[in-house]
């Protein structure tokens, strides 16, 4: 299912929940408490379902390359770490060891991304052995 559709479902759930809560409150004078309270509670649950993004958990993702996506997220973390190490190095708070170590991790991550490119979910991950790639079991 498309991400936009899931997002609209979440927004609609939140709006429907808010509308149900307002309805329970505004009609409080004409509704009995046995109807008003469950109605408001159901509205809160709908609203929370939209806020928590439950449609993304209920409807499967259309992503096929999630391992590459995870490695990309890891690379973003490394970029933040590299920046922090560079700032620490420039301020004289720490030496260049952390910066170099992070840079090496980034190089390894790029190599790993090249291995994961075009590899769909469910495919076997290649195992690296002495710079040769052997398919994993």
Percent of the chain with pLDDT over 90: 36
Q: How far apart are CA 2 and CA 20, in angstroms?
A: 27
pLDDT at 127: 64
Q: Where are the domains of the chain?
A: 3-58, 66-135
The token pair that represents 71 in the structure block: 């490695």
Asked if 108 and 78 count as a contact pair (C-beta separation under 8 A), the reply is no
- Residue-level pLDDT at 128: 59
Q: Which of 6-10, 15-19, 43-47, 103-107 has the lowest mean pLDDT?
A: 6-10
- Identify which has the larger pLDDT, 128 or 118: 118
pLDDT digits (tens, 9 = 90+) for 21-44: 999 999 888 888 899 999 999 999
């Amino acid at each position: 299912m498309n991400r936009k559709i899931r997002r609209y479902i979440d927004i609609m759930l939140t709006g429907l929940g808010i509308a149900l809560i307002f309805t329970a409150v505004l009609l409080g004078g004409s509704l009995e408490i046995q109807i008003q309270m469950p109605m408001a509670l159901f509205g809160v649950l709908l609203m929370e379902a939209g806020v928590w993004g439950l449609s993304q958990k209920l409807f499967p993702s259309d992503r096929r390359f999630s391992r590459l996506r995870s490695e990309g997220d890891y690379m973003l973390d490394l970029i933040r770490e590299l920046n922090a190490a560079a700032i620490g190095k420039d301020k004289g708070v720490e030496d260049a060891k952390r910066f170099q170590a992070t840079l090496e991790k980034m190089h390894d991550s790029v190599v790993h991304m090249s291995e994961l490119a075009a590899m769909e979910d469910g495919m076997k991950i290649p195992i690296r052995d002495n710079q040769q790639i052997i398919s994993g079991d």
